[in-house]
Chain A
Amino acid sequence: MEATAREPGSGGVTRRSWASWLLGTSLGATLFAFLYPVLNYLVPPASSEPSLSEFELDLKAADVPPSSGRIVPVGGKPVLLLKNAAGELSALTATCTHLDCTVQYRADRTDVWCACHNGTYDLKGRNISGPPPRPLTPLEVYVRGEKIVVKRA
């Protein structure tokens, strides 16, 4: 037994060196399995900024026509992005405070309306008629370069 174990280069793979090989290889492979995620982790993803309290919209400021409004997703929630006749951008949370339907902008009346139960808000989000008990929350909007950025107040 030992003879085979001890003789180096005795021709043929000895049991001891087979076990050592297995150990070395499996440990090496395991180490690689640990390093693979770590090395990938070090490479930053495409969106290199975490979305913080501000969200850059996939929308250019120039693409929003004046006197219009549209719903955009901001942090997973619907937000009503408005541009008045003078070209100023504003934003309101678009979840109706009555029963959570998504509100819409009405160009003909320049107000914000909820189709579910006829709730109406003004362009600052104040609830002016119908069932909504609370106003919509205004959000800060500004333009950075070409893109529009919405900030959670």
Chain B
Amino acid sequence: MRGFVVLLLLSLATPEAGGQAPPKPPPAINGCVDCHTALEDPRITPPAKLFADDVHAKAGFTCVFCHGGDGRQEDQEKAHDPAKGFIGKPKPREIPELCGKCHSDAALMKQYDPSQRIDQLAEYRTSGHGKALARGDTTVAECANCHGAHGIQPVKDSRSPVSPTKIAQTCNHCHGNAALMAAHQLPSDPYEKWSRSVHYRARVEKADLSAPTCNSCHGNHGAVPPEVGSVANVCGTCHVTFADQFKLSPHWEPFKEMGLPGCVACHENHEIVKPTEAFLADGAESKCSSCHEADSKGARAAAEMHSDLVGLDREIRRATQLADRAAEAGMEVSKVRFDLVAATNALTKARADVHLFRPSAVHAAVAEGLKVARGAATGGEARLKERDFRRRGLFISLGLILLSIAALVVRIRERERSTREPAE
């Protein structure tokens, strides 16, 4: 009975056959889904159910567009007819081409989403994943591994595994698997390291999506780690000032010659933590001492910059403490705090100027900041003096009050005595 209804309705719709041809207007009923859902088989039912919510389904594409076969047929053999293009479950090696069949077709994509790119397949072939897959390694990612197969959502949709909030975890699926990564001679801790970085904190804790995640630095479809010579360019897409300064610094040429990876040499690639002055010092966190021997010109330059920055930081802290103490005592400190903002800006600039690796530049920036910070400290001290003036005034007044009270008590006592000894 159901088959009859299907056929009846299908006969009203435009007939459609194999999936290899360009799409025609969608049929009214997707026979594949009906059968696969009804069968309740854990292998074939879930995909059919998921597909209902798929972005392709909503655009009018059905199972046969990827899997081939004939969706109008009720008989399994007829539906799964290889002559009608049925390929069953695609093999991993086939998937990029399968998706690319539509997604690299400019004329086709224009009909559905004109602003979407069509070079994903070309990019993929240049990537680490693409090259490995071409060599026959099926343990690498292809389209369906990241985008899903049947419940595919647009990238902007937060349900998509490659949406900005989820993509790092998707990459980590494989890149955090120690055994899998060992087989490819890759580390399995990039996600773990990145989760300790300032970029992770910005993205996850401050919901600042302008901070980078995996694809920001590695690319999407053409994912490869940046070459050592390109690291500064990649970091420099956001950290423009630092990259520009680094390229002007005495480190630029030597790093290129030595094949050192630019910014990553001091800042790491994944576990990028908040830099501190300790990087310049000669303790455990020192970055300079890994190349510059103690007492060399470089080491001395580092020490100079270090002491300059620490000095300004200390001065700002001192002024801030004074302002806080004054504010707690109820004094008005807005001008002091404004100056401190300017001083902190100077410190930020001085820290940026470290990347010129010339002590004189840092010194100049620090000198500016010190002037302002010292002014702020003076302001804070003045307000504390005012607080002391108030307290002195209070103690004097309290003293007078106590004196008056004492005088009153004396007088009261006197009167008591005199009333107890009434005059004769």
Task: Indicate whether A and B are direct neighbours in the complex (CB within 8 Å).
Answer: yes
**Which residues of A pack against B, CB within 8 Å?**
1-2, 5-6, 15-16, 19-20, 22-23, 25-27, 29-30, 33-34, 37, 71, 73, 75-78, 98, 101-102, 115-118, 130-131, 133
- The total of chain B residues at the interface (CB under 8 A) is 32
A24 to chain B, nearest CB (A): 8
Q: Is the CB of A29 within 8 A of B239?
A: no
Q: Bound complex: CA of A70 vs CA of B337, how far in Å?
A: 19
Chain B residues whose CB sits within 8 angstroms of the CB of A116 once the complex forms: 241, 348
Q: From A102, which residue of chain B is reached at the shortest CB distance? A: B345
Given contacts A23-B411, A115-B349, contact A131 B238 (CB under 8 A): yes
Which of A6, A15, A102 is the one whose CB lies under 8 Å from B342?
Answer: A102
Q: Are B341 and A115 in contact (CB under 8 A)?
A: no
Q: List 23 A-B contacts (CB under 8 A).
A: A2-B423, A6-B423, A22-B403, A23-B404, A23-B408, A26-B400, A26-B404, A27-B407, A30-B397, A73-B335, A73-B338, A75-B334, A76-B335, A98-B208, A98-B210, A102-B345, A116-B241, A117-B240, A118-B238, A118-B239, A131-B210, A131-B238, A133-B208
B binding-site residues for A, Cβ under 8 Å = 208, 210, 238-241, 334-335, 337-338, 341-342, 345, 348-349, 352, 393, 396-397, 400-401, 403-404, 406-408, 410-411, 414, 418, 421, 423
Q: How far is the CB of A72 from chain B (nearest CB, A)?
A: 10
Cβ B210 vs Cβ A23 within 8 A: no
Of all chain B residues, the one with the shortest Cβ separation from A21 is B407
Chain A contacts for B208, CB-based, 8 A: 98, 131, 133
Rounded to whole Å, the gap between the CB of B329 and the closest CB of chain A is: 17
Bound-state CA distance A71–B241 (Å) is 21
B403 contact from A5, A15, A29, Cβ within 8 A: A29
Residues of B within 8 A of A1 (CB): 421
Complex CA gap A68/B420 in Å reads 87
**A2 in contact with B239 (CB, 8 Å):** no
Beta-carbon contact of A30 and B404 below 8 Å = yes
Given contacts A1-B421, A23-B410, A75-B334, contact A117 B397 (CB under 8 A): no
Residue numbers in B under 8 Å from A73 (CB-CB): 335, 338
Quick one: which of B240, B334, B352, B423 contacts A76, CB cutoff 8 A? B334
Q: Which residue of A lies closest to B349 (CB)?
A: A115
Contact residues of B: prevailing secondary structure: helix
> In the complex, A102→B342 CA distance in Å?
8
Report the minimum CB–CB distance from A37 to chain B (whole Å). 8
A78 to B418, CA, bound (A): 71
- Please state if B397 and A33 are interface contacts (CB–CB under 8 Å): yes
**A33–B400 touching, CB < 8 Å:** yes
Q: Which residues of chain B are near A77, meaning CB under 8 Å?
A: 338
B218 to chain A minimum Cβ distance, whole angstroms, is 20
Chain A residues in 8 Å Cβ range of B410: 19, 22-23
Collect the chain A residues with CB atoms within 8 Å of residue B418's CB. 2, 5
Q: How far is the CB of A127 from chain B (nearest CB, A)?
A: 11
A2 CA / B414 CA spacing, docked (Å): 11
- Contact status A118-B240, CB under 8 Å: yes
Complexed CA–CA distance, A15 and B417 (Å): 13
Q: How distant is the Cα of A15 from the Cα of B413 in the complex, in angstroms?
A: 12
Q: Roughly how many angstroms separate A5 CA and B326 CA in the complex, as a whole number? A: 54
| Given A98-B210, A101-B348, A102-B345, A26:B403 Cβ within 8 A | yes
Residues of A within 8 A of B342 (CB): 71, 78, 102
A71 — which chain B residues lie within 8 A by C-beta? 342
Alpha-carbon distance A34/B404, docked complex (angstroms): 13
Inside 8 A of A29's CB, which chain B residues have their CB? Answer: 400, 403-404
CA A1 to CA B417, docked complex, whole Å: 11
The 9 closest A-B pairs by CB, nearest first: A76-B334, A131-B210, A23-B407, A26-B404, A118-B240, A26-B403, A22-B407, A33-B397, A30-B400
Q: Please measure, in the bound complex, the distance between the C-alpha atom of A122 and the C-alpha atom of B401, giving whole angstroms.
A: 63
Name 10 extra pairs, CB < 8 A, besides A19-B414, A115-B349, A116-B241.
A15-B414, A20-B411, A23-B411, A30-B400, A33-B400, A75-B334, A76-B337, A78-B342, A118-B241, A130-B210
Say yes or no: B352 contacts A115, CB within 8 Å: yes
- Report the bound CA distance from A105 to B345 in whole Å: 15
Rounded to whole Å, the gap between the CB of A130 and the closest CB of chain B is 8
Given the complex, which residues of A lie within 8 Å of B414, measured CB to CB?
A: 15-16, 19
- Please report the C-alpha to C-alpha distance between residue A101 and residue B348 in the assembled complex, in whole angstroms: 9
- B241 close to A115 (CB less than 8 A): yes
CB of B341 within 8 A of CB of A19, answer: no
CB distance from A113 to the nearest CB of B (A): 10
- Closest chain-B Cβ to A142's Cβ sits at a distance in Å of 23
